[in-house]
């Protein structure tokens, strides 16, 4: 199986962007959680003899994570570009076109899982922009909240897909697709070495 340069570029840029997005969400939910950090701010200031209202501590905690969250938005724009790039690749890159009926049951399952991931990427991109631009779109708070919930729920697809994808690649490389990792890097099949 040969991967064209265009597909390999898309693959590795997508990997970097998706891992970056997962990283920002992980940081937001753990180390940079405004709930946890506002409690730390309140406790430390109280220990130092200064009182602070909980609301003010929350504002400070959110300000600390805002810089990191800007990266989430930048990576969201990058993901949107990569979605468009993948759509273009679908029409111009014929290297990944195998007749579905000719695939083994396993390969059909893999192909379907990729389509689910592609649909999730598309949804996460659109929903992210809708949440970000909700004021310009004049959406109600309730509608925005529901879309945000679905956006965050979709994140779980990547929590499952990323480790399974990495594991699957190593298994495929060890079993019947020797060199799949290096092929995704340099585009050469084992026959080309």
- Check whether residue 62 and residue 143 sit in a common domain: no
Single out the residue of 146, 89, 145, 94 nearest to residue 118, CA to CA: 89
- Which helix (H) or strand (E) segment holds residue 111: the answer is helix 105-132
- Check whether residue 107 and residue 86 sit in a common domain: no
Confidence of residue 127 (pLDDT cuts 50, 70, 90): very high
Structural domain count of the chain: 2
Out of 43-52, 69-78, 183-192, which region has the weakest mean confidence (pLDDT)? 183-192
Q: What is the pLDDT of residue 190?
A: 60
Mean pLDDT score of the chain, rounded to an integer? 88
Measure the CA angle with vertex 113, ends 79 and 28; round to 5°. 45
- Check whether residue 140 and residue 177 sit in a common domain: yes
Q: What is the pLDDT of residue 187?
A: 74
- Check whether residue 8 and residue 87 sit in a common domain: yes
Q: What is the pLDDT of residue 81?
A: 96
Single out the residue of 77, 74, 73, 81 nearest to residue 9, CA to CA: 81
Taking 90 as the threshold, does the pLDDT of residue 22 lie above it? yes
Say if CB 46 and CB 26 are below 8 A apart: no
How do residues 132-155 score in pLDDT, each as one tens digit? 999 999 999 999 999 999 999 999
- Check whether residue 47 and residue 131 sit in a common domain: no
- Check whether residue 66 and residue 119 sit in a common domain: no
The residue out of 72, 96, 120 marking a domain boundary is 96
| pTM across the whole model | 0.84
Is the pLDDT higher at 177 or at 34?
A: 34
- Check whether residue 166 and residue 181 sit in a common domain: yes
Give the other-Cβ count within 10 Å of 113's Cβ.
Answer: 16
- Check whether residue 4 and residue 70 sit in a common domain: yes
**R_g of the chain, CA atoms, integer Å:** 21
Q: What is the pLDDT of residue 71?
A: 94
Domain membership of residue 26 as a residue range: 1-96
Confidence of residue 193 (pLDDT cuts 50, 70, 90): very low
How do residues 86-120 score in pLDDT, each as one tens digit? 999 888 877 666 677 788 888 888 889 988 999 99
Angstrom CA distances, 42 to 27, 33, 62, 68, 162, stand at 20, 14, 14, 22, 37
Average pLDDT value for residue range 47-51: 89
The residue out of 63, 96, 129 marking a domain boundary is 96
Say if CB 38 and CB 61 are below 8 A apart: yes
- Check whether residue 76 and residue 112 sit in a common domain: no
- Check whether residue 92 and residue 33 sit in a common domain: yes
- Check whether residue 114 and residue 72 sit in a common domain: no
Give the other-Cβ count within 10 Å of 50's Cβ.
Answer: 9
- Check whether residue 2 and residue 88 sit in a common domain: yes
Average pLDDT value for residue range 21-42: 91
Q: What is the pLDDT of residue 1?
A: 52
The residue out of 96, 112, 147 marking a domain boundary is 96
Confidence of residue 176 (pLDDT cuts 50, 70, 90): confident
Average pLDDT value for residue range 21-37: 91
């Amino acid at each position: 199986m040969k991967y064209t340069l265009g597909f390999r570029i898309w693959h590795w840029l997508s990997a970097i962007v998706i891992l970056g997005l997962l990283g920002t969400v992980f940081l937001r939910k753990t180390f940079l959680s405004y709930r946890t950090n506002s409690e730390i701010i309140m406790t430390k200031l109280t220990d130092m003899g200064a009182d602070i209202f909980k609301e003010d501590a929350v504002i400070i905690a959110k300000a600390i994570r805002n810089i990191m969250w800007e990266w989430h938005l930048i990576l969201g724009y990058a993901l949107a570009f990569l979605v468009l790039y993948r759509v273009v690749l679908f029409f111009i890159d014929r290297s990944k076109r195998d007749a579905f009926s000719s695939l083994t049951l396993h390969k059909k399952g893999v192909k379907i899982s990729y389509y689910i991931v592609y649909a999730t990427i598309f949804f996460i991109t659109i929903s992210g922009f809708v949440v970000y631009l909700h004021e310009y779109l004049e959406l109600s708070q309730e509608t925005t909240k529901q879309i945000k919930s679905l956006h965050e729920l979709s994140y779980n697809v990547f929590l499952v897909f990323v480790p399974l994808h990495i594991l699957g690649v190593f298994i495929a490389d060890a079993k019947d697709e020797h060199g799949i990792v290096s092929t995704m890097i340099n585009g050469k099949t084992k026959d080309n070495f």
